Amino acid sequence: MNEFELSTEYIELFKLLKALHLVGTGGEAKISISEGLVQVNGVVEMRKRYKVRVGDKVEYNGEMINIKKG
Q: What is the pLDDT of residues 13-58, one digit of tens each?
A: 999 999 999 999 999 999 999 999 999 999 999 999 999 999 999 9
1 band by pLDDT with thresholds 50, 70 and 90:
confident
Protein fold of 2-69:
3.10.290
- Provide the residue ranges of all domains of the chain, joining segments of one domain with +: 2-69
Measured distance CA(4)–CA(46) in Å, rounded: 21
DSSP 31-45: HHHHTT-EEETTEE-
